[in-house]
Amino acid sequence: MEHTVKQLKEYLSNHDIKPSTIRLKILEYLLNNRIHPTADDIYKNLLDQIPTLSKTSVYNTLDLFADKGVVKVLSLNEKEARYDINTRFHGHFKCHVCGRVYDFSISYDISTPQELKGFDINDIDINFYGICQNCKNQGRRI
Protein backbone atom coordinates (compact mmCIF):
# COMPACT_ATOMS: atom_id res chain seq x y z
CA MET A 1 0.00 0.00 0.00
CA GLU A 2 1.34 3.39 -0.96
CA HIS A 3 1.49 6.13 1.65
CA THR A 4 1.97 9.78 0.87
CA VAL A 5 4.63 11.82 2.63
CA LYS A 6 1.81 13.87 4.12
CA GLN A 7 0.20 10.74 5.60
CA LEU A 8 3.53 9.53 7.01
CA LYS A 9 4.28 12.94 8.55
CA GLU A 10 0.81 13.05 10.07
CA TYR A 11 1.24 9.54 11.48
CA LEU A 12 4.50 10.52 13.18
CA SER A 13 3.09 13.82 14.41
CA ASN A 14 0.11 11.97 15.92
CA HIS A 15 2.63 9.93 17.90
CA ASP A 16 4.48 13.07 19.03
CA ILE A 17 7.47 12.38 16.78
CA LYS A 18 9.12 15.10 14.72
CA PRO A 19 9.28 13.87 11.10
CA SER A 20 12.70 13.57 9.46
CA THR A 21 13.75 11.90 6.22
CA ILE A 22 15.15 8.86 8.03
CA ARG A 23 12.11 8.50 10.28
CA LEU A 24 9.74 8.79 7.33
CA LYS A 25 11.66 6.19 5.30
CA ILE A 26 11.82 3.73 8.21
CA LEU A 27 8.10 4.19 8.91
CA GLU A 28 7.29 3.70 5.23
CA TYR A 29 9.45 0.55 5.13
CA LEU A 30 7.71 -0.89 8.20
CA LEU A 31 4.25 -0.15 6.82
CA ASN A 32 5.07 -1.69 3.43
CA ASN A 33 7.05 -4.69 4.75
CA ARG A 34 5.10 -6.32 7.54
CA ILE A 35 7.70 -9.05 7.96
CA HIS A 36 8.85 -8.25 11.51
CA PRO A 37 12.26 -7.03 10.28
CA THR A 38 15.40 -6.60 12.35
CA ALA A 39 17.24 -3.27 12.47
CA ASP A 40 19.83 -4.79 10.11
CA ASP A 41 17.10 -5.77 7.65
CA ILE A 42 15.82 -2.20 7.63
CA TYR A 43 19.33 -0.76 7.31
CA LYS A 44 20.22 -3.02 4.37
CA ASN A 45 16.96 -2.29 2.55
CA LEU A 46 17.14 1.50 2.94
CA LEU A 47 20.86 2.06 2.34
CA ASP A 48 20.41 2.48 -1.43
CA GLN A 49 17.71 5.12 -0.85
CA ILE A 50 19.65 6.91 1.91
CA PRO A 51 23.41 6.47 1.29
CA THR A 52 24.25 8.44 4.46
CA LEU A 53 22.15 6.13 6.65
CA SER A 54 23.91 4.60 9.65
CA LYS A 55 22.93 1.62 11.76
CA THR A 56 22.95 3.94 14.77
CA SER A 57 20.29 6.12 13.12
CA VAL A 58 18.15 3.05 12.46
CA TYR A 59 18.47 1.81 16.05
CA ASN A 60 17.79 5.27 17.49
CA THR A 61 14.72 5.68 15.29
CA LEU A 62 13.38 2.25 16.23
CA ASP A 63 13.97 2.98 19.93
CA LEU A 64 12.02 6.24 19.55
CA PHE A 65 9.24 4.44 17.65
CA ALA A 66 9.03 1.82 20.42
CA ASP A 67 8.94 4.49 23.14
CA LYS A 68 6.12 6.33 21.36
CA GLY A 69 4.09 3.19 20.60
CA VAL A 70 4.63 3.16 16.83
CA VAL A 71 6.23 -0.31 16.90
CA LYS A 72 6.34 -3.24 19.25
CA VAL A 73 9.71 -4.87 19.91
CA LEU A 74 9.75 -8.67 19.59
CA SER A 75 12.53 -10.82 20.98
CA LEU A 76 11.21 -14.28 19.99
CA ASN A 77 14.14 -16.07 21.67
CA GLU A 78 16.61 -14.42 19.31
CA LYS A 79 19.79 -12.45 19.80
CA GLU A 80 18.40 -9.66 17.64
CA ALA A 81 15.14 -7.80 18.18
CA ARG A 82 12.47 -7.65 15.50
CA TYR A 83 10.05 -4.78 15.02
CA ASP A 84 6.32 -5.05 14.48
CA ILE A 85 4.36 -2.07 13.13
CA ASN A 86 1.14 -3.84 14.13
CA THR A 87 0.76 -2.75 17.76
CA ARG A 88 -2.73 -4.19 18.21
CA PHE A 89 -3.06 -7.23 20.47
CA HIS A 90 -2.06 -10.35 18.53
CA GLY A 91 0.26 -13.34 18.75
CA HIS A 92 3.24 -14.55 16.76
CA PHE A 93 4.39 -17.87 15.33
CA LYS A 94 8.07 -18.25 14.38
CA CYS A 95 9.13 -21.03 12.05
CA HIS A 96 12.31 -22.77 13.20
CA VAL A 97 13.16 -23.70 9.61
CA CYS A 98 12.69 -20.57 7.47
CA GLY A 99 12.69 -18.03 10.32
CA ARG A 100 9.55 -16.30 9.12
CA VAL A 101 7.27 -14.76 11.74
CA TYR A 102 3.51 -14.99 11.27
CA ASP A 103 0.83 -12.93 13.03
CA PHE A 104 -2.35 -14.50 14.37
CA SER A 105 -5.42 -13.08 16.10
CA ILE A 106 -6.09 -13.54 19.78
CA SER A 107 -9.23 -12.87 21.74
CA TYR A 108 -8.95 -10.02 24.24
CA ASP A 109 -10.69 -11.97 26.96
CA ILE A 110 -7.67 -13.89 28.21
CA SER A 111 -8.15 -14.69 31.86
CA THR A 112 -5.35 -13.95 34.31
CA PRO A 113 -3.70 -17.12 35.63
CA GLN A 114 -4.54 -17.81 39.27
CA GLU A 115 -0.84 -17.49 40.21
CA LEU A 116 -0.87 -13.88 38.97
CA LYS A 117 -4.06 -12.66 40.66
CA GLY A 118 -3.37 -9.27 42.22
CA PHE A 119 -0.38 -8.59 39.94
CA ASP A 120 -0.32 -5.49 37.70
CA ILE A 121 0.11 -6.83 34.17
CA ASN A 122 1.37 -4.23 31.68
CA ASP A 123 1.85 -6.34 28.58
CA ILE A 124 1.17 -9.82 27.22
CA ASP A 125 3.22 -11.63 24.57
CA ILE A 126 1.97 -14.88 23.11
CA ASN A 127 4.47 -16.65 20.89
CA PHE A 128 4.37 -20.08 19.29
CA TYR A 129 7.35 -21.83 17.71
CA GLY A 130 7.54 -24.75 15.31
CA ILE A 131 7.50 -25.47 11.58
CA CYS A 132 5.23 -23.41 9.32
CA GLN A 133 2.86 -25.08 6.89
CA ASN A 134 4.98 -24.05 3.88
CA CYS A 135 8.16 -25.65 5.24
CA LYS A 136 6.21 -28.71 6.40
CA ASN A 137 4.65 -29.17 2.94
CA GLN A 138 8.10 -28.92 1.35
CA GLY A 139 9.41 -31.56 3.73
CA ARG A 140 11.85 -29.10 5.28
CA ARG A 141 13.00 -29.89 8.81
CA ILE A 142 15.15 -28.28 11.46
Consult the annotation and say whether 109 binds a ligand. no
Cα separation of 134 and 113, whole Å? 34
The annotation status of 26 as a binding-site residue, yes or no, is no
79 is in an annotated binding site: no
Q: What are phi and psi of 92, to 5 degrees?
A: -130, 145
Q: How far apart are CA 78 and CA 75, in angstroms?
A: 6
Binding residue per annotation — 118? no
At residue 120, φ and ψ (nearest 5 deg) are -95, 110
User: Do residues 92 and 74 make contact, with C-beta atoms less than 8 angstroms apart?
Assistant: yes
SS3 54: coil
Which residues belong to the annotated binding site for Zn(2+)? 95, 98, 132, 135
Which residues belong to the annotated binding site? 95, 98, 132, 135
